[in-house]
Amino acid sequence: MAVLRRAVLRTALVLVAVLAIAVPVTVTRWLGAAVAAPPSVRDQVVTAAPAAADAAYERFSGDPAVTARIDGAVLVLTYHDIAPAATGEYTITPQAFAEQLAMLRDAGFTSVSAETLLASRTDPTVLPARPVVITFDDGTGGVWRYADPLLAEYGFRGIAFVITGRVGEHYPYYLTWDELTAMHDSGRWDVESHTAAGHDRHDVGGGHSWPFLINRLRLPDGTLETADAARARLSADADTAVATLQDHGLGRPDLFAYPFSASLTPTNDPATAQESRRILADRYALLFTNDGDPHWATPADLDAGVVPRIEVTAGVTADALFQKIVAGLPAPDPDDARPLLPGSWTDARGARATDAPSAPVSIRGTTITVRAVDASGTTAYLYRNRAARWTDYTVSGTWSAHPDGYSALLLREGSPGALRLSVGAGSMKLSTAAGTDLATYRITESTTHAVSVTLAGTEARVTVDGRALPPVTVPDPGPVGGAIGLRVAGSPVGTTVDGLRIAGPAATTPNR
């Protein structure tokens, strides 16, 4: 019995000793965890204001020609993260952001809310003279800590597109719900959707890792999910994002930004990409993306429901951003267009024309040369995506022609009434962009032809080498017009257009 008592006593002493060590350690660990827990709302950091304004910004602010070109269009900017130690392409420093906001202020911009942007679709008069929408994708913590106080300092507001499934995760990278609530309650922010769990690239077969939203995903057995399964997955993600923002008291989102700006490509199933767009358009009024040819969102873009943005990345100075803003302005009226300025033209990849003789699109003096860079040919656009107001106008110039092929003049490009005038050595053809032939002409064989095309509503009048051809009825472009383009098929020679001119419907003297 004495032995048993001593054994029990020793066991008790061991337990006491263990507890004496373990309890403080446990308490210390609990306290340490409590101390290390992320704060629900982090401290904000105010950045010093930059120096005096650039005179060019102030001239832009009061330029009536700029005001006339804007005419219902909206500048939309995209940011991602703001942080002092900017190490990646999508993170800019608070100082750089402050300088860009100062530029926007000095250039006369006023930021608008999601509500005002939506209202402008039916009433453009609700917009200020120089409207800007400042958006932030992903919902990173730097938006609260650094961007928000700067927006307050300069009198701007923002739109946060958040990945709802990542809010409060991976601290300190993403925003917390309390920070989003504080942003929303400040009156400076609209909180909108950037998916629930769809901001990822996935295995889609063929060795590709492509965006969640516009692809059918590869299953563990190596097959692709069915179209029905993809539709259900995409619908569930969209519904979850909407419900989550509502559940946190941030309102129902009306806007959506595509992850990676991948709205239709790359995809392993174009039908799924189109179905994804339909699902999103059923739930959101506007879908946002970053366009390869940065330009302002025109009334036509807003009406279509897909809004282009100008992306701001690391290393973009305030002046460089200003130059992008100016370059992306809506096109001037046809009478004020300058078709012989290289900066007005871009190719299908968004590259601007130059005066280099070997460039795919080259402008030297009064001659525009378009060269095919491969078998698919080359297309050049004047004021691409920026000439929605161009419906009726006249285009003229002297085209080089080849006996074995055609070069094409694109008209009302981007509108429902888009046309193609193909110019050959001995014939011409007017067709719709979809390929429906409207008229074919036999013309005198020559290596060059002086061509003029006048569009007026549903009538096109073509003149070749001084001879007026019979008028042609063409599709109605509707309220949205479009500028011009030049296309050459896969020929190593290319084509030239000399003395290209554009005039509005009431003009008597075309421009040069």
pLDDT for the residue numbered 227: 98
Query: What total number of domains does the chain contain?
Result: 2
Confidence of residue 371 (pLDDT cuts 50, 70, 90): confident
Say yes or no to pLDDT of 17 above 70.
no
In a domain, residue 467? The reply is yes
302/380 same-domain check:
no
Tokens of 11: 């066991």
146/262 same-domain check:
yes
pLDDT for the residue numbered 35: 34
389 vs 49, more confident: 389
52 vs 54, more confident: 54
* Interval 47-69 mean pLDDT: 88
Confidence of residue 491 (pLDDT cuts 50, 70, 90): low
Which range has the worst mean pLDDT, 59-63, 195-199, 246-250, 381-385?
Answer: 381-385
What are the tens digits of pLDDT across the range 403-421?
777 789 999 998 889 999 9
* Interval 245-253 mean pLDDT: 98
Give CA separation, 151 vs 96, 100, 269, 422, 436, in Å: 13, 11, 41, 51, 51
pLDDT for the residue numbered 99: 95
338/322 same-domain check:
no
* Interval 270-276 mean pLDDT: 98
Say yes or no to pLDDT of 45 above 60.
yes
Tell me whether residue 56 is exposed, middle or buried, using C-beta atoms within 10 angstroms of its C-beta: 0 to 12, 13 to 18, 19 or more: middle
209/243 same-domain check:
yes
What are the tens digits of pLDDT across the range 103-149?
999 999 999 999 999 999 999 999 999 999 999 999 999 999 999 99
314/373 same-domain check:
no
Say yes or no to pLDDT of 506 above 80.
no
Say yes or no to pLDDT of 510 above 60.
no
pLDDT for the residue numbered 52: 66
Query: Of 479, 408, 502, 483, which is closest to residue 124 (Cα–Cα)?
Result: 479
In a domain, residue 96? The reply is yes
Confidence of residue 349 (pLDDT cuts 50, 70, 90): confident
Q: What proportion of the chain, given as a percentage, has pLDDT over 90?
A: 75
Query: Which of 273, 297, 327 is at the close of a domain?
Result: 327
* Interval 6-11 mean pLDDT: 39
341/440 same-domain check:
yes
User: What is the rounded CA–CA span in Å between residue 225 and residue 236?
Assistant: 15
pLDDT for the residue numbered 479: 80
User: What is the rounded CA–CA span in Å between residue 421 and residue 441?
Assistant: 11
Query: Which of 327, 354, 379 is at the close of a domain?
Result: 327
447/305 same-domain check:
no
* Interval 281-286 mean pLDDT: 98
Q: What's at 194, amino acid-wise?
A: H
pLDDT for the residue numbered 473: 98
- Kindly report the CATH number assigned to the domain that includes residue 488: 2.60.120.560
Say yes or no to pLDDT of 286 above 90.
yes
pLDDT for the residue numbered 30: 24
pLDDT for the residue numbered 24: 37
User: What is the rounded CA–CA span in Å between residue 479 and residue 415?
Assistant: 9
pLDDT for the residue numbered 494: 79
308/352 same-domain check:
no
pLDDT for the residue numbered 13: 34
pLDDT for the residue numbered 384: 87
pLDDT for the residue numbered 373: 77
Mean pLDDT (the chain) is 89
In a domain, residue 9? The reply is no
pLDDT for the residue numbered 374: 77
In a domain, residue 50? The reply is no
Say yes or no to pLDDT of 507 above 80.
no
DSSP for 361-430, please give it. Answer: EEEETTEEEE---STT-EEEEESTT--TT--SEEEEEEEE-BTTB-EEEEESTTSTT-EEEEE-SSEEEE
294/371 same-domain check:
no
Query: Of 267, 307, 203, which is closest to residue 276 (Cα–Cα)?
Result: 267
Say yes or no to pLDDT of 375 above 80.
no
* Interval 306-329 mean pLDDT: 96
pTM (2 d.p.) = 0.85
pLDDT for the residue numbered 47: 86
Backbone CA torsion sign across 285, 479, 299, 316:
positive
272/366 same-domain check:
no
Tokens of 19: 């507890």
pLDDT for the residue numbered 261: 94
Structural domain harbouring 69: 55-327
Query: Which of 279, 309, 327 is at the close of a domain?
Result: 327
In a domain, residue 175? The reply is yes
Give CA separation, 338 vs 56, 65, 223, 497, in Å: 21, 14, 53, 14
pLDDT for the residue numbered 389: 86
In a domain, residue 26? The reply is no
Radius of gyration for the chain, computed over Cα atoms and rounded to the nearest angstrom: 29
265/370 same-domain check:
no
pLDDT for the residue numbered 436: 97
